[in-house]
Structure 1
Amino acid sequence: MPLPFLTADRAFDATDDIALPYDDHDEWRRPYRPGPWRVGAAALALLLASFVLFAAVIIAAASAPGGALATFALAAVIIVVALRALRVGTWVSRHGVRRVGFFSTATVAWPQVTELRTVQQPVRWLGLPRTVQGQALILVRQAGEQLTLLTDHNADFLSRVEAFDRAADTVEAWNAEYGVHASR
């Protein structure tokens, strides 16, 4: 079963410099591949879920339906958490840019974007409270509020500076194609 949220399009494997490599620009796509930290954490969570499911089968075989049901529910929660963690990130389409967090999602239409820039600033390390000096791709809306789209120390780009630069350039290319500046 293919998991489209795990892989970027095959065009990112190519060496040519196509800014918008997708055929269908209406579909929401992640302009980068999920990083090894995010995929590794999800894989460990799914491994844990398999053990919990095995335990649920054993509990069910021992004629304890209440415990088996609770254990199956725990496994389902672990699976949902792992899949949601894989969806976290920045997604783009013709309609705008979407920042998917674990508990919330923010979507900004391209015409509402006034500025998109990469800045040096303290960023959170792997989403934890600890901050380190790093780069962040900042989106500024027309109302003046800022939204951090990418950082070079999150689970997708930790120790992958080139991937962060490529992803930031790709998001900026989508903004150049569909943003306010493109309509002028």
Structure 2
Amino acid sequence: MPLPFMTAAGQTGAAEHPEPSPLPYDARDHWRRPYRPGPWRVGGAALILLLASYMLFSTLIIALAGAVPGALVCLGAALAVIGLALRLLRVGVWVSAHGLRRVGLLNTVTLSWAEVAAVRTVQQPVRWLGLPRTVQGQALDVVRAGDGEPLRTLLTDHNADFLSRPEAFDRAADVIEEWAAESQPVAHSTAHR
């Protein structure tokens, strides 16, 4: 089955935008994740959703037994677990013409391209699947403009999206670096106006 939206031939309006874009999207103002979520992240979210389905089934049983307050508590807990699974799927790096966004499980940090001094891939100890154990690997770091304070590591080749997929990490890092290189001059020129 052909998937024209995943190829350059599927781009519409190519004559309107003569400059090449690192991502094959015409709407550069929309926030996009430049890579697919990895199997570890999707599998973890699926297990959490499985737990939520058991909780919803328990809610039904409790409600049929006549304990409405208990059913409401169980329903609230199930909805919280579903929200956690959806948030887990959104975790990652998102880019647009406006800037760079790092979505975490509990917080989100957004930087405009004018605030980004450099995006680079470095060799350093990285956390394995977000656990305290560290291994030697690659990480994508962002240095903020002005104070030079580094942002928390964006991506590593041992996180839930790229574990055992080094080619996918290299592609994602290259695309994010291209977005930064392409968007920074525009951001600096509009900042000086």
Identical pairs, percent: 64
The CA distance in 2 between the partners of 1:11 and 1:149, in whole Å, is 24
Greater relative contact order: 1 or 2 (C-alpha under 8 angstroms, separation 6 or more)?
Answer: 1
1:52: Cα distance to partner? 0.7
> Helix, strand or coil for the counterpart of 2:132?
coil
Show structure 1 runs of 4+ deviating over 6 A: none
Q: What are the superposed Cα offsets for residues 61-97 of structure 1, whole Å, 9 maximum, x if unpaired? A: 0001111111111111110100011110000000110
Superposition RMSD in Å: 2.1
Cross-structure match for 2:76: 73
1:149: Cα distance to partner? 1.2
Question: 1:12/1:125 Cα in 2 relative to 1: closer, same or farther (>3 Å)?
Answer: farther
The CA distance in 2 between the partners of 1:112 and 1:169, in whole Å, is 19
Q: Are the counterparts in 2 of residues 113 and 180 from structure 1 also a CA contact under 8 Å?
A: no
The one-letter amino acid of 1:32's match is: Y
> Helix, strand or coil for the counterpart of 2:35?
coil
The one-letter amino acid of 1:94's match is: A
TM-score (norm 1): 0.88
Larger radius of gyration: 2
Determine which of 132, 135, 157 is the counterpart of 2:138.
135
Determine which of 58, 62, 71 is the counterpart of 1:59.
62
The CA distance in 1 between the partners of 2:127 and 2:8, in whole Å, is 29
The one-letter amino acid of 2:161's match is: D
Question: 1:114/1:173 Cα in 2 relative to 1: closer, same or farther (>3 Å)?
Answer: same
Q: What are the superposed Cα offsets for residues 78-129 of structure 1, whole Å, 9 maximum, x if unpaired? A: 1010001111000000011000011111111112211111000011111111
Gaps of 5+ in 1: 1-8
